[in-house]
Each structure stands twice: as structure tokens, then as C-alpha cells.
């Protein structure tokens, strides 16, 4: 699967919340990676970040919290065309790919191999 950043949200899509991480401060390297990747230091009020996984679109909605560096949290929403139903199993697999993209972007000491091993240990069904 390929994760890619795209410039805009696709027209005619609705947002379906999938995941909410309210406190990126647990590991500041993840917060910094998202801030740099999406230019949040220069424009924190800009549009949400949009990523695709093999053409399926996902929106990262960055949240703030008083007294915390921005972004303090992130939500992941599937962008589903029209009134089509959300393919929940595909969305779970895509969430795993988005997590792998994030871990790969952050780098050491984080690794996609460790993410995959952890997923096997905890029997996460969406793992590759």
C-alpha cells in the first residue's frame, strides 16, 4: 500500500471519524513530525491534512489544547464518497498503513518492524 499526501480534500466526500489521539504530547517526536509535514508552525489554522492510502482519502484534523504546543491531538477521519457506506475492514487496514507511515516518518527509535511485531503480539486484525 502507498500512503501519499494530497493538497486538497476530494469534492463530494463526507467525513467519518475513525480515530482520536487527544494527547500527542506523550511522544513529542510524533507531534513535531506532523507539525513539520503539514506546515502547522507556519499556518496552524490552515486546512486539515489529507492523506491517501491507495487512492482512499483520509483527513487528519489537528486539535489544540490550552498551554500545549500545537497540535496537541489529532483525529483521523475517512473521507467517503457521497453516501457510500464506509468499508470498516478496509478503513482498519488503512489505519494500520497510516500508523506505519507516521512511525516511518518519525524514525528511530520507532520502526515499522516494531509496529508490526507489536501488532502480531496483540493480534491486531488489521495488521499486514
The pLDDT, as a whole number, for residue 123 is 66
Confidence band of 7 (pLDDT split at 50, 70, 90): confident
- Position 94 pLDDT exceeds 90: yes
Q: What is the pLDDT of residues 47-60, one digit of tens each?
A: 888 999 999 999 99
pTM of the entire structure?
0.86
The 8-class DSSP code of residue 67 comes to T
- Check if the beta carbon of residue 71 is closer than 8 Å to that of residue 64: yes
- Return the C-alpha torsion angle 30, 41, 56, 115, nearest 10: -10
d(CA 39, CA 33): 10
The pLDDT, as a whole number, for residue 28 is 92
Amino acid at each position: 500500500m502507498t500512503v501519499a499526501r494530497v493538497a486538497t480534500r476530494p469534492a463530494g466526500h463526507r467525513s467519518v471519524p475513525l480515530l482520536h489521539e487527544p494527547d500527542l504530547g506523550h511522544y513529542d517526536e510524533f507531534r513535531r513530525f506532523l507539525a513539520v509535514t503539514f506546515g502547522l508552525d507556519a499556518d496552524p489554522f490552515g486546512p486539515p491534512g489529507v492523506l491517501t492510502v491507495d487512492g482512499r482519502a483520509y483527513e487528519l484534523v489537528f486539535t489544540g489544547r490550552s498551554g500545549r504546543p500545537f497540535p496537541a491531538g489529532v483525529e483521523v477521519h475517512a473521507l467517503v464518497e457521497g453516501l457510500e457506506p464506509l468499508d470498516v475492514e478496509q478503513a482498519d487496514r488503512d489505519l494500520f498503513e497510516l500508523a506505519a507511515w507516521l512511525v516511518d516518518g518519525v524514525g528511530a527509535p520507532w520502526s515499522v518492524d516494531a509496529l508490526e511485531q507489536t501488532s502480531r503480539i496483540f493480534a491486531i486484525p488489521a495488521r499486514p
